[in-house]
């Protein structure tokens, strides 16, 4: 059994073998593997006795349930109005330059994926970004780069 | 349980209807037509296209009439100013994301969106064109179905069909917002996924987003090619539905006219799949009896029961994807279409002195999965592709129109011989329960020497539109050579529509039910409701087609497969015996497990 | 009844003498019908934005005859400009849990769920601990109710209650047809009360202090106070609990930067109020209701950009199932772009306004129905900025 299959089995065991468990199972996979691979989706379909297309269709509805490969750390910069007003473009630009990728891409070393997101709920402290589940409000381009550097160190 | 009556008014006309009735249904009773797109009589309510909105007095919002139950005192307006404006907007919006290249569309003239657009006289498009370039790339990977996302209006009828009726879910709604679309697992091409090619989605697609892969031009080319000898076979269910596409009321049999039309098109020989349906009964009936003998007499534990029919290529592919562990339960018999192809390019070609390589076998089928089936690599036992082209009932209707034939005025003609003779048992192959009934008529008689003990040979318990039917027949007073079957209660089950098939397979897998023989037809109602039949379809339409099939059977001079003289002749001349060496080579096949996504 | 801006401290107030659990203990000694009467008397309306009377909702669910019922706390706060629920969950989670438990007692439910948006996953660890403790506390009281957390995964529309149920059931978050309403058939098709985070806190507070004190705040149409999320061009952005019924002018005087040209009341799906209407606009159900989002724009801001941002948001976050919303949002977005570029005449904006009229009454859920709010209020008040 591959590690993905084992993970899916474990998640299904923990959450129950019903359709109602689909979200927590998919979330658990993303937590561990950063995205839902073909193998993971098929494994979930098998374990929960759902059609693979249905599992994919459900997953693809949710922004955080990625079905394309993602880096070890997923950066999501809030792009909604107040963060926009407070300089999210500068944050995104400085991250693009530092990581040498465009929005939507993953670095060659697979350490970072840079994405934008709709309102993250920190409008009073924008611009803001999430890295994985951690939140970083009140950003400046400088601050954002320092945070990324910390992650880069850990990821080594 | 009696239901409460609810009183309401629609366009100021009072009506009382049962509680739970939708506004749409109530309006229909008063002969008010409300347009719909996502609604379909075979499917659950979606309420997502919003074309059917109506105004309810006092309500802030318009109500989707397909999804809103009536309530006491309700006052509904189906054509108020608000309703008209909204409805027109909605049609305009749908058109703005629809590749409205109508004149080049295969569904031109048969498109529900086109009809609505015409009804509302949508002129110059008010709104911006939202058709995405990438959506214009058609998925032509399947030999049966073409998927064109640029024509899709997201009504999700196909998704509900694939899930609710067929239990396949090859299609799903994916992504959201402006990226939402109907797609497959990880957007893979149709031929790579669990799609069974049943084509039920095509029957319910209101636009040209899902259509059959058509082979009309190829067939015309063959007809015009003097070096080719074109042989047509017509499936049982085509003769009770073709008329629908040619201005003839639903439920009217057009067998003789269909033959006449095919001859007018320039087909060299017009033959009948019904002949090989009879042949199937001989082979499959024998296979069943053999399996029973091995199980009951030889106590052979390797024999697999229940045996399951194998006529329906959608069902076969379903089983290959979903229940590969049950592939040995399938009869090894090829479908009648493929038996025909194999026999036509060997036995028949010899008889009429035509080289097999010069023969083009064209099938007229109620089915789009047959297009896939004829291309299966196993189906070349004549040394050539046994069946060259499969046309749906709909495609044949188009050819008849193209040829300028006034179908209604045609005089009935007879099938050519040989391979044109058939029995009533073969005709009912077109309806759910029909293969079972045909098999029982023959098998019972072989075993007992007497006709099946049902009035006029009509085995009523296996007929009808119930999703899963079960029956048992006690076999008594058998001939000496079948003594092992004396007193055996033969248990059979029948399912149509793959969602029902799935239920039945689960019962088989769990061992909950001990059947000997199972008939599955992939499409609702059986082949008469096939994915290649005229559109629209509904329970009422299928019921009428079924009645036509059973009346065709009742009118046939021969009602049992083993009495078909041409069948008797082919065994005498060529095949020698059912399950014999030649049969094995030409009429039987094998199956392969496939991936489940 | 003219009100002025008044800061209130109910939601975040920490009462050392009375723990939230003790409010539950005290409340479940009363009859469910009494509690419902109190809630109805208090005039509390849902704080998520739609403003349905909370007491009535509980009453409907209580009247349903069903073995199984559910209480759901809608913590899928996603409306741009809204962040108050995050703050409430972070600071006073036990008050939410108390509201859920009381609701469970009143309607006869044994299970409650918090649907927490995926963007707030960082709150999970602490919240789970508080839920575990609270469950234990209820057990000690011999009170049969358990609470669990379900997470979202980034889909704004899941804040719509029926979409939220779909999501909890492992499906795409597509809103359902209504009727049936949640109190009849919600999660797992069982009678369900679904309330916003803040609403649940108010219910527990009303149970503690009685309806009178709550009712004394606000206006006859908008009883009580509510938590506002203040952002944009303001020197003091943040969370403020304010009495309902104040004129917008008061609000701008308090929070604006002296150069306020417009306030977007109620988030992206709310209304944009220009400076000239600040005086006539009441914040409350009689004026402009809000789930709490107040975004302030000063004269340096382009209202075209603001509207463009909103429309982009809705275009992406529409579930996509119904025509008016899926295609309508795209038409509005591409439409203002076309007008801006001069590819369509300014009058095209009026065609689009008519289209929002259809979206408002024909879309399946609140998302599509409300896109016209920002569109029309911005087009009407800042038409030049859109065109030129």
Interface contact flag, B173 A45, Cβ < 8 Å: no
- The interface predicted TM-score (ipTM) is 0.96
Say how many C-beta atoms besides its own lie within 10 A of residue B353's C-beta: 6
Cα–Cα distance for residue pair B114/B132, rounded to 1 Å: 20
Picking from B265, B269, B262, the residue whose alpha carbon sits closest to that of residue B353 is B269
Interface contact flag, B597 A61, Cβ < 8 Å: no
| Residue at B218 is within a domain | no
To which H or E segment does residue B166 belong? Answer: none
Query: pLDDT band at residue C15, thresholds of 50, 70 and 90?
Result: confident
Please confirm, yes or no, whether B331 is among the known catalytic residues: yes
Of C232, C238, C239, Cβ closest to residue A85: C232
pLDDT above 80: residue C2: no
Number of domain units in chain B: 3
Listed by number, the residues of chain B in 25-54 with a beta carbon closer than 8 Å to a beta carbon of chain C are 45-51, 53
| Residue at B481 is within a domain | yes
| Residue at B217 is within a domain | no
Q: Chains that contact C by 3+ CB pairs under 8 Å?
A: A, B
pLDDT at residue C16, as a whole number:
84
What CATH code would you report for C225-298?
3.10.20.600
* Residue from B75, B378, B470, B563 carrying the catalytic annotation: B378
Of A61, A82, A124, Cβ closest to residue C172: A61
Chain A residues whose CB is inside 8 A of the B168 CB are 51
Statement to judge: residues B289 and B333 lie in one domain: yes
Of C81, C172, C297, Cβ closest to residue A123: C81
Pinpoint the residues of chain C covered by CATH 1.20.1440.230: 303-381
Q: How many CA atoms lie within 13 A of B392 on its CB side?
A: 30
Query: pLDDT band at residue C1, thresholds of 50, 70 and 90?
Result: low
Pairing of strands B5-10, B13-18: antiparallel
What is the topology classification, in CATH, of domain C303-381?
de novo design (two linked rop proteins) (1.20.1440)
Picking from B374, B292, B323, the residue whose alpha carbon sits closest to that of residue B589 is B374
By CA distance, what is C337's nearest residue in B?
A: B128
| Residue at B391 is within a domain | yes
Sign of the Cα torsion C44, C46, C52, C57 reads: negative
Statement to judge: residues B413 and B485 lie in one domain: yes
* Residue from B311, B333, B367, B523 carrying the catalytic annotation: B311
Statement to judge: residues B164 and B84 lie in one domain: no
pLDDT at residue A1, as a whole number:
85
pLDDT above 70: residue C286: yes
Interface contact flag, B180 C326, Cβ < 8 Å: yes
Whole-prediction pTM: 0.96
Statement to judge: residues B184 and B251 lie in one domain: no
Statement to judge: residues B62 and B168 lie in one domain: no
* Interchain CB contact of B177 with A (< 8 Å): no
Of A46, A56, A61, Cβ closest to residue B185: A56
Statement to judge: residues B65 and B147 lie in one domain: no
Contacts of C136 (CB under 8 A, 6+ apart): none
* Residue from B244, B284, B421, B437 carrying the catalytic annotation: B284
* Interchain CB contact of A24 with C (< 8 Å): yes
Statement to judge: residues B428 and B528 lie in one domain: yes
DSSP string, C224-273: SEEEEEEEES-TT-EEEEEETT-BHHHHHHHHS-S-EEEEEETSTTSEEE
> What are phi and psi for residue B386, nearest 5 degrees?
-60, -45
| Residue at B420 is within a domain | yes
pLDDT above 80: residue C12: yes
Of B47, B82, B153, Cβ closest to residue C361: B82
| Helix axes C32-42 and C197-209, enclosed angle (nearest 10) | 110
Statement to judge: residues B272 and B133 lie in one domain: no
SS3 content of chain C, % helix, strand, coil (to 5): 50, 15, 35
Q: Which domain holds residue B467?
A: 227-597
pLDDT at residue C48, as a whole number:
86
pLDDT in tens, C324-333: 999 999 999 9
pLDDT at residue B3, as a whole number:
73
Please confirm, yes or no, whether B287 is among the known catalytic residues: yes
**Cis ω for the linkage preceding B418 (within 30 of 0):** yes
* Interchain CB contact of C228 with A (< 8 Å): no
Query: pLDDT band at residue A156, thresholds of 50, 70 and 90?
Result: low
Statement to judge: residues B267 and B399 lie in one domain: yes
* Residue from B97, B212, B320, B373 carrying the catalytic annotation: B373
Please confirm, yes or no, whether B176 is among the known catalytic residues: no
Please confirm, yes or no, whether B378 is among the known catalytic residues: yes
pLDDT at residue B391, as a whole number:
98
Statement to judge: residues B33 and B166 lie in one domain: no
Contacts of C143 (CB under 8 A, 6+ apart): C24, C28, C101, C105
Of B212, B241, B261, at which residue does a domain stop? B212
Cα–Cα distance for residue pair C261/B125, rounded to 1 Å: 37
Chain A residues whose CB is inside 8 A of the C237 CB are 123-125
Residue C23 CA to its chain's centroid (Å): 24
What are the beta bridge partners of residue B182? Answer: B173
Cα–Cα distance for residue pair C44/C52, rounded to 1 Å: 9
Q: Chains that contact A by 3+ CB pairs under 8 Å?
A: B, C
Chain C residues whose CB is inside 8 A of the B51 CB are 323
Measured in angstroms, the CA of B134 and the nearest CA of chain C are apart by 17
What is the CATH number for B171? 3.30.70.20
Cα–Cα distance for residue pair B147/B190, rounded to 1 Å: 8
Measured in angstroms, the CA of A118 and the nearest CA of chain B are apart by 13
Statement to judge: residues B35 and B133 lie in one domain: no
Q: Chains that contact B by 3+ CB pairs under 8 Å?
A: A, C
Please confirm, yes or no, whether B527 is among the known catalytic residues: yes
* Interchain CB contact of A92 with B (< 8 Å): no
Statement to judge: residues B20 and B136 lie in one domain: no
What CATH code would you report for C20-212?
3.40.50.11540
Pinpoint the residues of chain C covered by CATH 3.10.20.600: 225-298
By CA distance, what is B597's nearest residue in A?
A: A52
Mean pLDDT by 10 residues, chain B (597 residues): 85 97 98 97 97 98 98 97 97 96 94 94 86 96 98 98 98 98 98 98 98 98 98 98 98 98 98 98 96 92 95 98 97 98 97 97 98 97 97 98 98 96 97 97 95 94 96 93 92 98 96 92 98 98 98 97 97 96 97 94
Of B36, B70, B92, at which residue does a domain stop? B92
Contacts of B134 (CB under 8 A, 6+ apart): none
Cα–Cα distance for residue pair C251/C290, rounded to 1 Å: 14
Domains detected in chain A: 3-59 (no CATH), 73-155 (3.40.30.10)
| Residue at B81 is within a domain | yes
């Amino acid at each position: 059994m591959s590690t993905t299959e084992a993970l899916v089995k474990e998640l299904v065991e923990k959450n129950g073998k019903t359709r109602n468990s689909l979200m927590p199972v998919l979330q658990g996979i993303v937590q561990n593997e950063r995205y839902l691979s073909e193998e993971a989706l098929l494994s979930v379909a098998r374990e929960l006795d759902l059609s693979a297309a249905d599992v994919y269709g459900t997953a693809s509805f949710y922004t955080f349930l990625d079905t394309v490969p993602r880096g070890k750390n997923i950066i999501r910069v809030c792009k909604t109005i107040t963060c926009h007003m407070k300089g999210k473009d500068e944050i995104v630009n400085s991250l693009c330059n530092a990581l040498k990728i465009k929005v939507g891409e993953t670095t060659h070393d697979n350490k970072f994926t840079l994405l934008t997101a709709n309102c993250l709920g920190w409008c009073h402290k924008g611009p803001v970004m999430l890295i994985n589940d951690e939140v970083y409000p009140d950003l400046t381009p400088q601050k954002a780069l320092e945070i990324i550097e910390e992650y880069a160190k850990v990821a080594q | 349980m009696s239901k409460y009556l609810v009183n309401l008014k629609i366009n100021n006309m009072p009506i009382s209807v049962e509680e739970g009735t939708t506004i749409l249904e109530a309006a229909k009773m008063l002969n008010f037509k409300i347009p719909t797109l996502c609604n379909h009589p075979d499917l659950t309510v979606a309420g997502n296209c919003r074309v059917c909105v109506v105004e309810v007095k006092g309500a802030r919002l318009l109500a989707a009439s397909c999804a809103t139950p009536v309530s006491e005192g309700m006052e509904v307006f189906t054509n108020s100013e608000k309703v008209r404006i909204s409805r027109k907007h909605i049609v305009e919006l749908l058109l703005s994301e629809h590749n409205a290249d109508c004149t080049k569309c295969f569904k031109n003239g048969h498109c529900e969106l086109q009809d609505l657009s015409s009804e509302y006289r949508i002129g110059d498009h008010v709104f911006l064109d939202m058709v995405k370039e990438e959506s214009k790339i058609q998925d032509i990977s399947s030999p049966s179905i073409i998927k064109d996302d640029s024509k899709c209006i997201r009504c999700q009828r196909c998704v509900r069909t694939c899930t609710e009726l067929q239990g396949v879910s090859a299609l799903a709604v994916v992504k959201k917002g402006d990226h939402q679309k109907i797609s497959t697992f990880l957007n893979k091409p149709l031929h790579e996924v669990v799609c069974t090619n049943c084509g039920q989605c095509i029957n319910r697609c209101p636009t040209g987003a899902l259509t059959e892969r058509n082979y009309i031009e190829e067939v015309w080319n063959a007809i015009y090619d003097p070096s080719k000898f074109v042989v047509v076979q017509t499936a049982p269910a085509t003769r009770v539905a073709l008329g629908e596409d040619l201005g003839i009321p639903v439920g009217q049999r057009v067998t003789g006219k269909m033959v006449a039309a095919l001859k007018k098109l320039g087909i060299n020989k017009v033959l009948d799949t019904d002949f090989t349906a009879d042949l199937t009964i001989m082979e499959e009936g024998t296979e069943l009896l053999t399996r029973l003998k091995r199980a009951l007499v030889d106590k052979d534990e390797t024999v697999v029961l229940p045996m399951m029919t194998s006529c329906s290529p959608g069902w076969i592919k379903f089983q290959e994807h979903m229940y590969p562990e049950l592939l040995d339960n399938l009869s090894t018999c090829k479908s009648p279409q493929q038996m025909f192809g194999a026999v036509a390019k060997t036995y028949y070609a010899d008889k009429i002195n035509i080289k097999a390589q010069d023969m083009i076998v064209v099938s007229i089928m109620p089915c789009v999965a047959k297009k896939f089936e004829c291309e299966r690599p196993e189906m070349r036992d004549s040394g050539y592709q046994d069946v060259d082209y499969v046309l749906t009932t709909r495609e044949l209707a188009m050819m008849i129109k193209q040829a300028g034939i006034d179908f209604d005025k045609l005089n009935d003609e007879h099938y050519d011989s040989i391979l044109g003779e058939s029995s009533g048992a073969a005709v009912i192959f077109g309806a759910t329960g029909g293969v079972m009934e045909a098999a029982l008529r023959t098998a019972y008689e072989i075993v007992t020497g007497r006709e099946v003990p049902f009035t006029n040979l009509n085995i009523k318990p296996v007929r009808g539109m119930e999703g899963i039917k079960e029956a048992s027949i006690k076999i008594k007073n058998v001939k000496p050579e079948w003594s092992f079957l004396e007193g055996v209660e033969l248990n059979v089950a029948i399912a149509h529509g793959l969602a029902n098939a799935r239920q039945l397979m689960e019962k088989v897998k769990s061992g909950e039910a001990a059947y000997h023989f199972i008939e599955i037809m992939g499409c609702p109602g059986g082949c008469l409701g096939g994915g290649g039949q005229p559109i629209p379809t509904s329970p009422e339409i299928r019921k009428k087609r079924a009645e036509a099939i059973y009346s065709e059977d009742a009118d046939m001079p021969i009602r049992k497969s083993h009495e078909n003289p041409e069948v008797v002749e082919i065994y005498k001349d060529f095949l020698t015996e059912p399950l014999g060496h030649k049969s094995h080579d030409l009429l039987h096949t094998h199956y392969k497990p496939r991936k489940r996504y | 009844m003219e009100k002025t801006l008044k800061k209130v401290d109910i939601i975040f107030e920490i009462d050392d003498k009375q723990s939230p659990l003790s409010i539950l203990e005290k409340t479940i000694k009363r009859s469910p019908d009494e509690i419902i009467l109190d809630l109805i008397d208090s005039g509390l309306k849902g704080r998520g934005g739609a403003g349905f009377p909370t007491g009535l909702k509980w009453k409907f669910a209580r009247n349903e005859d069903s073995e199984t019922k559910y209480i759901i706390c809608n913590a899928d706060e996603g409306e741009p400009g809204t962040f108050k629920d995050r703050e409430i969950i972070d600071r006073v989670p036990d008050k939410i849990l108390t509201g859920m438990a009381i609701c469970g007692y009143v309607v006869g439910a044994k299970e409650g769920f918090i649907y927490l948006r995926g963007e707030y996953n960082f709150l999970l660890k602490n919240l789970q601990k508080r839920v575990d403790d609270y469950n234990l506390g209820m057990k000690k009281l011999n009170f049969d109710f358990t609470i669990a957390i379900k997470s979202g995964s980034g889909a704004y529309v899941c804040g719509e209650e029926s979409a939220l149920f779909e999501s909890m059931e492992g499906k795409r978050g597509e809103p359902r047809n209504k009727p049936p309403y949640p109190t009849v058939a919600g999660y797992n098709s069982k009678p369900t009360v679904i309330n916003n985070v803040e609403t649940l806190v108010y219910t527990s507070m009303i149970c503690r202090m009685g309806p009178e004190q709550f009712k004394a705040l606000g206006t006859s149409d908008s009883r009580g106070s509510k938590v506002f999320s203040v952002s944009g061009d303001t020197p003091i952005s943040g969370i403020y609990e304010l009495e309902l019924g104040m004129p917008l002018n008061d609000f701008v005087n308090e929070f604006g930067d002296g150069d306020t040209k417009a306030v977007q009341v109620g988030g992206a799906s709310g209304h944009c109020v220009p400076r000239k209407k600040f005086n006539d606009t009441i914040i409350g159900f009689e004026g402009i209701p809000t789930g709490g989002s107040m975004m302030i724009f000063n004269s340096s801001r382009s209202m075209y950009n603001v509207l463009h941002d909103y429309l982009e948001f809705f275009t992406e976050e529409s579930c996509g199932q119904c025509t008016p919303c899926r295609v309508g949002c795209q038409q509005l977005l591409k439409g203002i772009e076309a007008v801006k570029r001069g590819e369509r005449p300014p009058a095209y904006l009026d065609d689009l306004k008519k289209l929002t009229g259809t979206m408002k009454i024909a879309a399946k859920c609140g998302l599509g129905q409300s896109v016209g709010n920002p569109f029309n209020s911005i087009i009407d008040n800042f038409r030049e900025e859109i065109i030129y």
